[in-house]
Amino acid sequence: MFNKPALLSAVTLTTALLAAAGLTVLSTTSALAAEQVSAQSNEKRTFNVAAGDLATALNQFGRQAGILLSFSPELAAPYKTSGLKGDYKISEGLQILLRGTPLSVVQQSDTSYRLTQSSDKSADLPVVTVTGQHTSLSAYDPIDSYHAERGTSATKTNASIFDTPQSISVVTQQQLINRGVKTVTQALQYTPSLSVPYGYDTRYDWFSLRGFDAKNQVYRDGLLIPTSTYGLPRADSYALERVEVIRGPSSVTYGQAQPGGLVNLVSKRPTEETLHELRLSAGSDDFFELAGDFSGKVDDEGKLLYRLTFVGNDGNSEVDYNDSRRKMVAPSLTWNISDDTQLTVLALEQHDKQTYSFNSHFSPTLLKTFSAFKGGAKVYDREFGFFDGEEDFNNFDRDYRSVGYEFSHAFNDTWSFRQNTRYDHVNLDFKALGISRNILASDLTKGIQGREASRRKEDLNAFAVDNQLLAHFDSGKLTHDVLIGLDWRYSDSTEKNFSGTASAINYLNPVYGSAVGNLSLSNKKDVYSRQTGLYIQDQLAYENWRLLIGGRYDWVKNDVDVDFSNNTANDADKSAEDFSGRVGLLYKFDNGLSPYISYSESFNLVTSTDVEGNLFDPEKAKQYEVGVKYEPKNIDGFISLAAFDLIKDDYVITEYDLSGTNNISRQVGEVNSTGIEIEVGLELTEQLKLSAAYSYVDARITKSPNSWEKDSLIPNQPRQTASVWPDYTQTSGVLKGLGMGAGLRYIGESTYIGRDNLSPISGNQSVDIETGGYTLTDASLRYDFDDVRLALNVSNLFDREYTTTCTDLVCYFGDGRRVIASATYNW
């Protein structure tokens, strides 16, 4: 038998060593070679470029000419060409292909050209690059602009956001860098309909979209990042090219999914351009980090490209005795096999080791109930940053390894094939002390908190593959972009839960060092999940009309086997198959306005069980969305507005007990989430950029077997959120290179309506708790000179102490002020 973690580590190390070999290869270009290239550009060549779409023709021309030709797909999309046959110079051929269009070509070097237009608005548009060596077929190519005009996640193609009838956000590399983003949660803070219910958390990116939990809806490069109950990998933003968010049901392209939306992380990939970067960071709570990013050609021809990204950090926390350490390496290799065929191998290994506890205090309901129980006596709450564990016991160790590849091949100008596959392994060991579920073990009138111990050991193996056949063709006046896909994924996890006793602690005057008793195995759970999906999608264009239509059929099976410590067992399995559909229509007015309407569906077969160990019925959802997207003519950027009405049947809700580590799931009848979203991304001038968002989400349970729950709001979902981030860069004068940004984030009040865990004492069946809203300020300052960037990034600038959400038992503090200074050197 192979040792899977050791084998995966070996694969990652081998890929890293091969990538690092590229660092030793020096590309040299002689003057003689330059003269030969210059002469070749003036020679006539034989071309055979078919008539049709201009973008397709330019792809053919670039390959036949052996040049690097860069252009925006949106720029070339509206135009046709009569083709090119015969012997021509490169400049002559380009003139003929562009005849009758307002486009022209700018020669950047002897073998490099860029397509542009007289208004020059295209100068900052995202581009595709065609060279004589190979054609980039990846939808994950970098986006050079501050705000994106294309994204891959909604359609699994390189589609324009303005042609897609769905609410989409893209957080680009420039935004990630300028805001000093460290986590996915931070990346999404300035996008609509996002909520972070549990505040401070150094372990996970825990968030929801449109009212629905989305922490398990994180994809990387189009494939789901697998999770067990607590074994959720957390991506490091330094390894990411960008972050894409699609809101609303997405089962048509991804299968099982929560209806609020999903997040797709785009990994950094090898580049032809040489990249050498080192970054040193230091900041609050003794944080220190060293990161590096290296990329370029391994051979002179660029057939083989490499990239090697790594991060190592160490730091403490705003919670007493909490600390965290991370080691991450992400090597990748691209092999340009031919003009039409490409293979990219991506690997990642990440180790997280932490001493962790929640940053929480007692809820008003708990304090009030305990005071009444003690005859109206005064009770005391816990303070910000209180550590309720033991430094020698609390521990959070997570190892995450993955390796996979992306293969693409263009058969001709119409048909192409892509295959994306990845193997993931997650290993978790999580030990924590929490509030005792026996409320009588605590005495809040004396500042005494009863504690209990828990440990979770989880091991997860997962594999996924997505096969895609793409076709681009015209039928009369209709242009089609067809996607036919077959994907399959499975995950197999083993989860062991241990429990034990621990001594109480005085949170008013804590003394640490108490021994924790021996933990015993409570249960062992094996969870197996499998999904097979067949899908088809067509993006149709007719003059100014855009139609998106798709359908998918899934076959899913879940098995959950639980062995308890009392020699009893519970085995549950459930199979389901379902069809999901999507249709959307958009019209592009000449003034830049693009109104749209769409309908989409989703389903999800959850692996959690009820109190009797039974699996739940599949969750199903449907959504209607209307909106408008506006692309200004005089400035780069966008403004989007969306209104949605989302209904989810057989909703599974999970509630946590006092300890925060044990959960109980139950299924209610129906949830309805309605709301509006506004997002703005504008490059007002060359120096000034603006990002802003607003959302109103009314998500409530409309059908439930519990009378107290009917028409209640989904727990911990703020009804209103708003954000704004202007960013300014000085581009001339003595202060050239100086940049700064500032952000405001408003998170409105939220409500928790749920069961009362203290009902034996309080006599109440349910609780209704409101958490107030809050506003936070972020800021950044940077200075670029020569090959160096100095930056200072601050989140929660005024160190506001606030509560994100409350349950019937505890309330969760949000993150305090965090200051990070960094120096980045590129050469």
pLDDT of the residue at 710: 86
pLDDT of the residue at 28: 34
Q: Which residues contact 407 (CB under 8 A, 6 or more apart)?
A: 342, 343, 344, 417, 418, 419, 420
**Which of the pair, 680 or 130, is modelled with greater confidence?**
680
Strand partners, 444: none
* CATH code of the domain occupying 267-826: 2.40.170.20
Residue 417 and residue 424: Cα distance in Å, rounded?
24
Say if CB 508 and CB 179 are below 8 A apart: no
> Residue 107 burial by CB count (10 A; 0-12/13-18/19+): exposed, middle or buried?
middle
Which residue stretches of 562-636 are H helix?
none
Nearest Cα to 353, choosing from 391, 323, 320? 323
pLDDT of the residue at 657: 52
Q: Does 36 score more than 50 pLDDT? A: no
Q: Does 668 score more than 60 pLDDT? A: yes
Q: Does 86 score more than 70 pLDDT? A: yes
Q: Does 525 score more than 50 pLDDT? A: yes
pLDDT of the residue at 41: 54
pLDDT tens digits for range 260-311 = 999 999 999 999 999 999 999 999 999 999 999 999 999 998 999 999 999 9
Q: Which of 234-248, 291-305, 427-441, 811-825 has the lowest mean pLDDT?
A: 427-441
Task: Take residue 565 and report the two structure tokens written for it.
Answer: 């410590």
Average pLDDT for residues 43-64, to the nearest whole number?
Answer: 80
Indicate the DSSP class of residue 133: S
Residue 590 and residue 453: Cα distance in Å, rounded?
64
Residue 361 and residue 193: Cα distance in Å, rounded?
26
Say if CB 811 and CB 805 are below 8 A apart: yes
pLDDT tens digits for range 465-474 = 999 999 999 9
Task: Work out the percent of the chain whose per-residue pLDDT is above 70.
Answer: 90
**Band of pLDDT at residue 144, cut at 50, 70 and 90:** confident
Indicate the DSSP class of residue 615: B
Q: Over the chain, what is the mean pLDDT?
A: 88
pLDDT tens digits for range 339-395 = 899 999 999 999 999 999 999 999 999 999 999 999 999 999 999 999 999 999 999
Provide the sign of the torsion angle of the four alpha carbons 655, 659, 660, 662, taken in this order.
negative
Domain residue ranges of the chain, discontinuous segments joined by +: 267-826
pLDDT of the residue at 181: 96
Nearest Cα to 268, choosing from 294, 246, 245, 291? 294
Mapped onto helix, strand or coil, the DSSP state of residue 707 is coil
Residue 762 and residue 658: Cα distance in Å, rounded?
15
**Band of pLDDT at residue 803, cut at 50, 70 and 90:** very high
Half-sphere exposure of 437 (CA within 13 A, CB side): 14
Dmax (CA) of the chain:
98
pLDDT of the residue at 762: 82
pLDDT of the residue at 119: 45
Q: Does 110 score more than 50 pLDDT? A: yes
Q: Does 121 score more than 70 pLDDT? A: no
Instruction: Fill in the amino acid letter for 275.
Output: L
Q: Does 745 score more than 80 pLDDT? A: yes
pLDDT of the residue at 9: 55
Residue in this structure with the two tokens 């060596």, named with its chain if needed: 133
